[in-house]
């Protein structure tokens, strides 16, 4: 195999630079690691060597392979030592003036054919390249921590980047065992941009008093299949990182409402509750384990009232079959009797609005989220409205928990929790495609590998229905009057005519 780059330099000996150096050496390149702090270079090399030694001890690498890897990872004493490198990867502090100065110095040392790349996650590739004499040889090359395990890399073209450079970088990523995705130079590129919907919408839900952190995490894990709830994820990545990324993308997109930050993270960051690494974030941690409050027990209800289901309910036939399986006494009249528990299942609307529009008694009305097939979830989610009687809430909870499936009861919300988070994720992903930031296929790859979502966001939209996502967004926009929920043209057009969200007209 002919390597795309046989001589590579990594500048910055932190965790990111160390990880990139490791996979480059494993690919067969001669790698020079440089840092302004000489002791950091040796520390980084020692850490990588220890990882290789552990893999040898486990029988996953031979002694000969480990020796070869080690021989190819060298320390550089100055930028002059990098003079014959074909590729230089910068992985230093996220300050644009420092990066610009470094690359200007590198251009003086390296041959004209050398490719320079930045591992920036938040700065404009074009802006960094503006100070260079050869911007065509410059690109973004964004890896994710921990580099050896996170198998995706974003290849970002600046406005003047030669397309052949991006192709060469993509080939080198594959040679290092990673999957390249190509993106335009826009705030957040692909992964950090697509990830805006999950956490920011969850924060908005909390700020409306709809449910607490643990309940939201449980619902999104059990209903959709996310590995971590949004607040577990915030605690893992830490707010001293996450909050600044949220703010940066919001401001770089000139206060686009879809990316709006929330005061909750600002307050918690100011108070030092940044996450697991300090022992407290949205959860408290004891010996590294989150202290999660217990769920409320299922109410004991001796007599469940008869149940009437709105004719406008989403998945009405499935809902009726579910109630039959649970042993409910189902009313079939045109309207509920005065004793009936009234069940609605809206998409996007809140329970209050549905009760008013359908002329139902709000005191006896409870909603259930039926966006997702009940058989495909581990949890059911009910919502009350401000007038729902306690006995009706408890009866609904007890009824829907009869078969042992977990049930969460939340306060009134347009779109419950799953609907609004999923629709927001799908909408932002659709707009990434609408802006031609990347291909739909690269978007799906980047998000599944970079964010570990159970599905790519477009595939998620297809699974739960583009038309349903569109209805949720239109109705939420009506409930909240917020342009945050306006549907992307990509979603609106495909949802309206029944096309896959992965479909392109090109």
Cα first-last separation, the chain:
34
Phi, psi (degrees; rounded to nearest 5) at 82: -100, 10
Question: Does residue 192 carry a catalytic annotation?
Answer: yes
HSE-up of residue 464 (Cα within 13 Å, Cβ side): 31
Catalytic residue among 90, 154, 232, 331: 154
Residue whose C-alpha is closest to residue 201's, from 227, 186, 225, 219: 219
121 catalytic per annotation? yes
Between helix 418-434 and helix 466-480 the angle, nearest 10°, is 110
Q: Of the listed 142, 178, 193, 397, which one is catalytic?
A: 142
Examine the residue annotation and report whether 119 is marked as an active-site residue of this protein: no
Q: Which helix (H) or strand (E) holds 103?
A: helix 96-109
Burial of 411 (0-12, 13-18, 19+ CB in 10 A): middle
* Catalytic residue chosen out of the listed positions 119, 192, 242, 475: 192
CA distances for 464 relative to 257, 357, 455, 470, 495, angstroms: 24, 25, 11, 11, 11
Residue 76 in 3-state DSSP? coil
Q: Are 442 and 181 in contact (CB under 8 A)?
A: yes
Q: Which residues of 229-251 are buried (b: 16+ CB within 10 A; e: fewer)?
A: bbbbbbbebbbeebbebbebbbe
Active-site hit among 121, 385, 462, 488: 121
For Cα atoms 352, 355, 358, give the angle at the middle one, nearest 5 degrees.
145
CA atoms within 13 A on the CB side of 455: 15
Q: Is the N-terminal amide bond of 146 cis, ω within 30° of 0? A: yes
Q: Which residues are catalytic?
A: 121, 142, 154, 192
């Amino acid at each position: 195999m002919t390597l795309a780059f046989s001589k590579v330099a990594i500048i910055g000996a932190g965790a990111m630079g160390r990880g990139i150096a490791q996979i480059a050496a494993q690919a067969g390149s001669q790698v020079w690691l440089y840092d302004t702090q000489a002791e950091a270079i040796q520390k980084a090399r020692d850490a990588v060597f220890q990882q290789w030694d552990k893999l040898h001890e486990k029988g996953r690498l031979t002694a000969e392979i480990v020796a070869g890897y080690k021989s190819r990872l060298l320390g550089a004493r100055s930028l002059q030592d990098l003079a014959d490198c074909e590729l230089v990867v910068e992985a230093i502090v996220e300050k644009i003036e420092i990066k610009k100065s470094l690359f200007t110095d590198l251009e003086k040392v390296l041959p004209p054919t050398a490719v320079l790349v930045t591992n920036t996650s938040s700065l404009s590739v074009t802006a960094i390249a503006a100070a260079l004499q050869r911007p065509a040889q410059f690109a973004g090359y964004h890896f994710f921590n921990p580099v050896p395990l996170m198998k995706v890399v974003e290849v970002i073209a600046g406005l003047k980047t030669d397309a052949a450079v991006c192709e060469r970088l993509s080939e080198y990523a594959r040679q290092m065992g990673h999957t390249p995705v190509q993106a335009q130079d826009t705030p957040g590129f692909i992964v950090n941009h697509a990830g805006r919907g999950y956490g920011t919408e969850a924060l908005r839900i909390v700020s409306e008093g709809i449910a607490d952190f643990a309940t939201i995490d449980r619902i999104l894990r059990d209903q959709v299949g996310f590995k971590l709830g949004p607040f577990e994820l915030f605690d893992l990545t830490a707010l001293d990182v996450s909050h600044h990324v949220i703010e940066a993308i919001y401001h770089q997109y000139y206060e686009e409402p879809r990316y709006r930050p929330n005061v909750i993270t600002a307050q918690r960051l100011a108070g030092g509750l940044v996450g697991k690494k300090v022992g407290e974030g949205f959860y408290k941690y004891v010996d590294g384990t989150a202290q999660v409050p217990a769920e409320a027990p299922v109410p004991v209800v001796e007599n469940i009232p008869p149940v009437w289901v709105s004719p406008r309910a989403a998945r009405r036939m499935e809902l009726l079959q579910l109630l039959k399986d649970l042993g409910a006494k189902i009313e079939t009249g045109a309207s509920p009797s005065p004793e009936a528990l009234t069940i609605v299942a809206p998409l996007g609307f809140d329970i209050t609005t549905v009760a008013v529009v359908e002329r139902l008694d709000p005191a006896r009305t409870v909603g259930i989220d039926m966006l997702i097939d009940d058989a495909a979830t581990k949890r059911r989610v009910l919502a009350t409205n401000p007038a729902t009687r306690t006995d009706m809430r408890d009866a609904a909870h007890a009824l829907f928990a009869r078969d042992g499936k977990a049930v969460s009861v939340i306060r009134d919300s347009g779109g419950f929790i799953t609907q609004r988070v999923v629709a927001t994720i799908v909408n932002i992903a659709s707009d990434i495609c609408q802006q031609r930031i990347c291909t739909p296929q690269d978007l799906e790859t980047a998000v599944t590998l970079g964010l570990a979502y159970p599905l790519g966001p477009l595939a998620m939209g297809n699974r739960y229905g583009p038309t349903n996502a569109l209805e949720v967004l239109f109705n939420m926009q009506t409930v909240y009057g917020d342009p945050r929920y306006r549907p992307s043209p990509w979603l609106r057009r495909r949802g309206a005519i029944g096309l896959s969200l992965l479909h392109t007209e090109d």
